[in-house]
Structure 1
């Protein structure tokens, strides 16, 4: 059953693009981590060949791909995934909390610039709003099945 929802398609595409951006960090190496604002400590660890930057980045990639799959499921593009409504609401909240709560987590990452925080929070807000509004539009259809 195809009941495409353009906002959930935007959410899926955005999450996949974010996953690709994180993969670029790994491929590009230390300069990729610097360019995307991951901080000097992550870049130095990548220079040293430490496992941590690649592992953390791959975990983020995996989570973003799962989020994209849930958006595609909610849009009716792929089969219905378990706990779909709950997951879509949760994913919306994760992105919106990251977007709006960046001031609270800034002190944990002092090397990241204000530009990084503003740009990444804006991106998270757009993705979160796409998930939230798309979920809202499809709420009734998501309750069936």
Structure 2
């Protein structure tokens, strides 16, 4: 039976992996996917014009999310032990929580992103941040 920390990390890792996959799908599908995901018209048009910046930015985000997922799975015992697992999980949780709570400050910097994008992504980041924080705390408690 899994404990709360393990379940939180499994949940957080799975959501992070799904988010990474969603970013890869945006690269593959191009402009319409960027629009659907709320990334903004400028990113969608740049992708449609064949510019590399949208794909590079999106691939970098996908890569980070995938690394974070692997760390969550490592903390949950489903992947090999990675160095600094607990502090990395705590840091990832803090980054997700900061992103969730800072969206009112970030929103004006990205005016092309839809309100739906900001509310949905911030809500997901809040859930992810709490999942990683619970998982990291459980690891610190020796579970």
| TM-score interval, normalised by the smaller of the two chains | over 0.9
Aligned length: 141
Query: TM-score with structure 1 length normalisation?
Result: 0.92
- Name the Cα RMSD after superposition: 1.6
Q: Would you say 1:72 and 2:73 are equivalent positions?
A: yes
* Structure 1 residue 86 displacement after superposition: 1.3
Structure 2 distance, partners of 1:71, 1:12, is 5
What is the match of residue 104 of structure 2? 103
What is the match of residue 88 of structure 2? 87
Structure 2 distance, partners of 1:111, 1:95, is 22
Q: SS of 1:59's equivalent?
A: helix
Residue by residue over 1:66-93, the C-alpha shift from the partner in whole angstroms, topping out at 9 and shown as x without a partner, is 0001101111111211111110111000
Where in structure 1 are there 5+ consecutive unaligned residues? none
Structure 2 distance, partners of 1:78, 1:27, is 28
Where in structure 2 are there 5+ consecutive unaligned residues? none
What is the match of residue 48 of structure 1? 49
Structure 2 distance, partners of 1:29, 1:78, is 32
What is the match of residue 139 of structure 2? 138
Displaced runs of 4+ in structure 1, greater than 4 A?
Answer: none
**Aligned counterparts, 1:103-122, within 5 A:** 103-122=104-123
Query: TM-score with structure 2 length normalisation?
Result: 0.93
